[in-house]
Chains A and B, each alone.
Chain A
Amino acid sequence: MIRIYPREEYCTGCRLCEIHCIVEHSESRDIIKAFKRERRPQKRVEVEESGHLSFALQCRHCDEAPCVDACLSGAMHRDDRTGAVVNDRDKCVGCWTCVLVCPYGAVRRDVGERKVVAKCDLCPHLEVPACVANCPNEALVMEEV
């Protein structure tokens, strides 16, 4: 599987990763439509910033993932094929237990028609995840592990 790592020495905090994450997880995957017309999905990557320090952080896809262990409904699970920790949005009930136990703050509420959570799915439709591909500074790198 792949893992994404931040390189804080190159991150300027431009938040393009957040923008392109939103676009990739939008209905149309079109930047204008995603931001101007459709329900804007929750971002799955977060730029943390304080003074000169900044970096982007998304789900670590932990080996023994606390969100999977704690999930009340059985929605949060590991995809056997990709190794990614993913949420079955149909099974998710939005109880926020995963939000409570994620050590990285990487699971967020995504409230539309139903209450569910959103998290990094490593962009299964893309060769390179959107946040990594669109970082102008290579401050996010992808590694095969």
Chain B
Amino acid sequence: MAAQGFDYVIVGNSAAGVNAAAALREADPEGSVAVFTEEDRLAYSRPLISYLVAGEVDERRMVYRGVSFYRRLAVELFRGEKVLEIDYRRKRFRTSQRRALAWKKLLLATGSEPSVPPVPGLKEVPWKTFIGWDDARALLRATRHPGCRVLVMGAGLIGMKAAEAALARSARVTVVEMMDRILPNALDAEASRMVEERCRERGMEVITGCKLMGIEPRGRGSGIAALDDGSEVGFDLLLVAAGVKPRLELVGEGGPSVNRGILVDESLMTDLPGVYAAGDAAEAWDMVWEEPRVNALWPNATLQGKYAGWNMAGRQAPYPGSLSMNSVEFFGLPVLSAGVVNPPDPSFREMTEHFPDGTYKKVVIHNDRLVGMLVAGDIERAGIYTSLIQERMPLRRLKGTLLSRSFGHVYLPQAVRRSRILEGEAGIRAGRGA
């Protein structure tokens, strides 16, 4: 390395980082690309850690992009090499391997870290969280004897996936959620109720509307949690799943501007020229809320990474915007949701329908545009709704057909149907009248 540096440096080797590397190489066949990750692993799929614990995938299938990916793209991967400090003015960074290197363009794809609420006594027990491969290993180890008591703090997506995985390991699982229902962000009240019912049927204890007031250690990782209703829950393993927040420790002095996450423009560039951010760490434009938001979800991270890569390499590729979306399945009940599922005020119109087979559908409309959807049960073809949200198309007469059982392209105006089917103009590629 004569120049002691790279044209493009990517910090982070997950959804955003990996897809940025591929997009960079696609748009710039020549420039040198380096990816740094503190984890001594190949890129793996973080959402699959619950599948790993439940025994539904093996370690081999955890790999998202293997060695050949980096070789084929001529991207240098520095595994187990943490970027410690970035000098944004001199365009230099320092790593845990005592290397000091230069970059021309930089992508911060540092992901998120768990939010840890200030519960008295939490420091006294070796609690775990559930966002990485090592967390999956820890849960596997803790649950090697059936009947292990696992207490999950928080019934968001991470908490519920952890709870489900622990249950598959024959653990005794209790979930405590502050809000009055599980998955309060991903689902609406009705879908929450449907999923919660399934979880209870399978033996998961779900306590909602309750706060953890204190933790009393009992040795070897176990302890007793006091709830604000006066009850107590004993545990052998405490999992903290109270949400995630962007990892910002590399931003520091002289770094890019930050709100909740690193603020980026339409090209995923921060307010420092040549410095980009993507994925869970970034706060990018949200197409439905029409404001910058952190959408810490895998599909948003991959797309942001891809657009960041293109733009870093000089391609003019405006990011179409993020969309909150979730696909969950608990005990045989799949639920898909996108956009606004819990409308904040009466200017949003909700329409819902229960079907004889148990399927539940909801659409949310604002200013004659579809801004949210949820389908629980028969989820086939729900992606058509997602694409209509992305297209921002005025609904007009379509409104009356949205909740029909066989909703599809037959109900779209002929011109729209043709451009979708014949020209491929659909979803974020269309973005009509945004």
Contacts and interface: CB of A to CB of B under 8 A. Distances in A.
Choose among A50, A53, A94 the residue with the greatest number of B CB atoms under 10 Å from its CB.
A50
Given A64-B429, A73-B61, A100-B327, A6 B421 contact: yes
B324 to A, nearest CB: 11
A144 B41 CA distance: 42
Given A5-B421, A91-B61, A54 B410 contact: yes
B299 A104 contact: no
Interface stretch (A19-27, A105-113, A131-139): A105-113
Interface in A57-98: 57, 60, 62-64, 66, 69-70, 72-74, 90-91, 93-98
B195 interface: no
A62 B386 CA distance: 16
Given A5-B421, A97-B299, A50 B379 contact: no
Interface stretch (B44-52, B174-182, B197-205): B44-52
Nearest to A90: B61
B420 interface: yes
Contacts of B311: none
A48 B408 contact: yes
A103 B410 contact: no
A107 B383 contact: yes
B56 interface: yes
B250 interface: no
Contacts, number: 126
A16 interface: no
Interface residues of A, number: 38
B329 A96 contact: yes
B422 interface: yes
Contact of B380 (A54, A57, A105): A105
B64 A73 contact: yes
Contacts of A94: 329
Interface of B: 19, 45, 47-48, 51, 56-57, 61, 63-65, 298-299, 302-303, 306, 325-327, 329, 334, 336, 338, 379-384, 386-387, 390, 406, 408-411, 420-422, 424, 426-429
